Amino acid sequence: MTYTFSAGLAPLTGTATRDIFKLLTRPEIISFAGGLPAGDCLPVDAIREITGEIFADPGRSLKCLQYGATEGYPGLRELIIPLAEDLGITGIGADNVLMVSGGGQGLDLLCKAFCNPGDAVLVEDPTFLGFLPTAQSYSARTIGVRPGQGGLDLEDLERKLKEYHPKLVYCIPNFSNPTGKTYTVENRAAVTDLAEKYDTIVIEDDPYGRLRFAGEPVPVMKSFDKADRVAYVSSFSKTVSPGLRLGFVIAHRDIIRKLAIGKQGADLHSSNLTQLIIKTYLEKGYFFPNIEKSLPIYRKRRNAMIEALDRYMPEEFTHTNPEGGLFIWGEFDAAIDTAEIFNAAIARNVAYIQGNVFFAANPPVNAIRLNYSNEDPERIEAGIRVLGEVFKEKIALSRPGNRM
């Protein structure tokens, strides 16, 4: 039996990383492949306490076990406002906020709301691997914009805005997945101005901004957005728990209304239990202390990985040094294919993600993404030592005269 799937989904075959994740359940694998928060940063005791309190209270129990409003659990959107103000986003009310089932759903709803088949969506190359199939599932064309100094290459961005008239420009200005890089203030302001000039919408995807363990914070792009061109998407996945599946979108109320209509067809509303847990978590003041507790853990793991990379990787390897978030990006100045070498690394129980899967166009074969948040410093050191051996061996073999 062959099925005739939609034009959006038919060409999509699932990302290479889904197969990698199947391998990662093996405990002997040291994984730098995922994007999971550290287990030590998941607030198990707080969630146990809150859940116990909810179900000890008949009124709240019934409320969270019933159907609810699409926009969000009563009172929760109001609690997002001070979180947004803390980032420099001012002048918003609850009707500028939509609670979503993870930031990923916010991205999906924005594509659903703005993209017709064939529309262009600009993304930074490289970009979040999950966003590419999301936009493509609405039959949008994803077009890569070159990275520049301190953010997007503004000339390339403007050229592509003129040429493609994109509906959306997707960026991750804080500690990008996959590169760990952050845009400068000037770049954020310039991208926002260009969105206004060329009448498009910027999706500012910011799941990692709160995870800054070095350097100075930079105001979010949405704070420069005088013309309501920026849809800000964030998530509790990396600051509280990814399993709870809760995020939010902040945008002009007309956009929020349209996204809510799209969400009704997707899941009606995000889990009331999850929303009530996060609402109570915020009210009890647990949010910021848990992040404060997490930052030294991530700084230590980043440091362990940087030290190990500098010590064990071949001299042809260069890497980013993120001030927050979960990822380091590395490139080899050598003729090697990191997708092919993956099997040699896995055979020695170490996983990474090949860099080519993060590109809309012209993917390079010599890059890798490394995640440091979900392994302790000892395993990071051991895993990078193995990767260093594997890559040195492959580079030696790839030199002229040594080819097999």
Ligand X SMILES: Cc1ncc(COP(=O)(O)O)c(C=O)c1O
Question: Which listed residue (126, 151, 180, 242) binds ligand X by CB under 6 A?
Answer: 242
- Ramachandran angles phi, psi of 68, nearest 5°: -140, -170
User: How many chain residues are in contact with ligand X, going by CB under 6 A?
Assistant: 14
Q: Is 103 in the site for ligand X (CB under 6 A)?
A: yes
Q: Is 72 in the site for ligand X (CB under 6 A)?
A: no
Report which residue's Cβ sits closest to ligand X: 102
Binding mask 156-195 for ligand X (x = CB under 6 A): ----------------x----x------------------
Q: Is 323 in the site for ligand X (CB under 6 A)?
A: no
Binding mask 325-344 for ligand X (x = CB under 6 A): --------------------
Q: Is 322 in the site for ligand X (CB under 6 A)?
A: no
| 8 A C-beta contact, residue 140 and residue 201 | no
Residue 1 makes CB contacts below 8 A (sequence gap 6+) with none
Burial classification of residue 191, based on how many CB atoms lie within 10 Å of its CB (0-12 exposed, 13-18 middle, 19 or more buried): buried
Instruction: Restricting to residues 200-219, name those near ligand X by CB under 6 A.
Output: 205, 207
Question: Which listed residue (174, 235, 270, 280) binds ligand X by CB under 6 A?
Answer: 235
Q: Identify any residues that bridge with 152 across adjacent strands, giving them in sequence order.
A: 147
Quote the least distance from Cβ 102 to ligand X, whole Å. 3
Quote the least distance from Cβ 276 to ligand X, whole Å. 18
| 8 A C-beta contact, residue 159 and residue 111 | no
In 119-185, beta strands by DSSP E: 120-124, 141-145, 147-148, 151-152, 168-171
Instruction: Restricting to residues 104-143, name those near ligand X by CB under 6 A.
Output: 104, 128, 130
Burial annotation 146-172 (CB, 10 A radius, 16+ → b, else e) = ebeeebbbbebbbebbeebebbbbbbb
Distance CA 14, CA 145 (A): 23
| 8 A C-beta contact, residue 316 and residue 389 | no
Concatenating the DSSP letter of every residue in 222-278 gives GGG-TTS-EEEEEESTTTT-STT--EEEE--HHHHHHHHHHHHHHTSS--HHHHHHH
Question: Which listed residue (37, 102, 209, 322) binds ligand X by CB under 6 A?
Answer: 102
Comparing CB distances to ligand X, the nearer of 128 and 298 is 128
**Stretch touching ligand X by CB under 6 A, among 66-74, 99-107, 156-164, 286-294:** 99-107
Comparing CB distances to ligand X, the nearer of 329 and 391 is 329
- The H or E element that residue 297 is part of is helix 287-312
Question: Which listed residue (31, 237, 356, 374) binds ligand X by CB under 6 A?
Answer: 237
Give the footprint of ligand X on this chain (CB under 6 A).
Answer: 35, 102-104, 128, 130, 172, 177, 205, 207, 235, 237, 242, 247
